[in-house]
A and B are shown apart, each in its own frame.
Chain A
Amino acid sequence: KQEVTQIPAALSVPEGENLVLNCSFTDSAIYNLQWFRQDPGKGLTSLLLIQSSQREQTSGRLNASLDKSSGRSTLYIAASQPGDSATYLCAVRDRRSNDYKLSFGAGTTVTVRA
């Protein structure tokens, strides 16, 4: 059974500092990995999706890397802003399970202080 872990559970940084969020997964036979953002009391917004054949994906200030062999992904957010405060979730789609299932981590809650 795929287990997804996100460390740290919470992170507080001053505005302008770069953010580094970690995600690890136990079964490297994944189809893809996705990073989501969740604002308090709201649903999830997809940020980046990395296919298993890719090493990284970039969107604006966000960069996500994937090291499938070691079971790790890292989300980098450059020059953080107070608006980046949210919970960031990592999810993997396994090759061993059916097409529909995403396995989620518990998330990292980020606070960017002005």
Chain B
Amino acid sequence: ETGVTQTPRHLVMGMTNKKSLKCEQHLGHNAMYWYKQSAKKPLELMFVYSLEERVENNSVPSRFSPECPNSSHLFLHLHTLQPEDSALYLCASSQSGGASDTQYFGPGTRLTVL
């Protein structure tokens, strides 16, 4: 596996379910990101981790809970979601999180909340 991978690629869940999204990067980067992409709307940054510490949380509801156990893995734990949370969730990584970094994106998880 190379680059940034995400699993599952598609997920359908009910509002009372608990599920987790997984992201893994094979680039040796130190920063990882979660983005939400809703239809016809700009990408929204949700969380940023640098060296496994959360450095940004863009006022995301607590029903989304990130976890970064090491610099290669990032999880997004989901519980009691709402239908409006249906979106494409993208993971990205970059070398250090600095301003000159290029972010490398995974293919995304298409989430549908019924």
Contact = CB atoms under 8 A, between A and B. Distances in A.
A93 B6 CA distance: 25
Contacts, number: 62
B103 A49 contact: no
A55 B56 CA distance: 31
Interface residues of B, number: 28
A4 B42 contact: yes
Contacts of B104: 46
A42 B42 contact: no
Contacts of A79: none
Interface string A80-112: 000000000101010000111111111100000
Interface in A8-41: 9, 31-32, 34, 36, 41
A9 B39 CA distance: 12
> Across chains A and B, which 9 residue pairs bring their CB atoms closest together, nearest first?
A43-B105, A44-B105, A104-B42, A104-B43, A100-B48, A31-B99, A43-B107, A99-B99, A106-B42
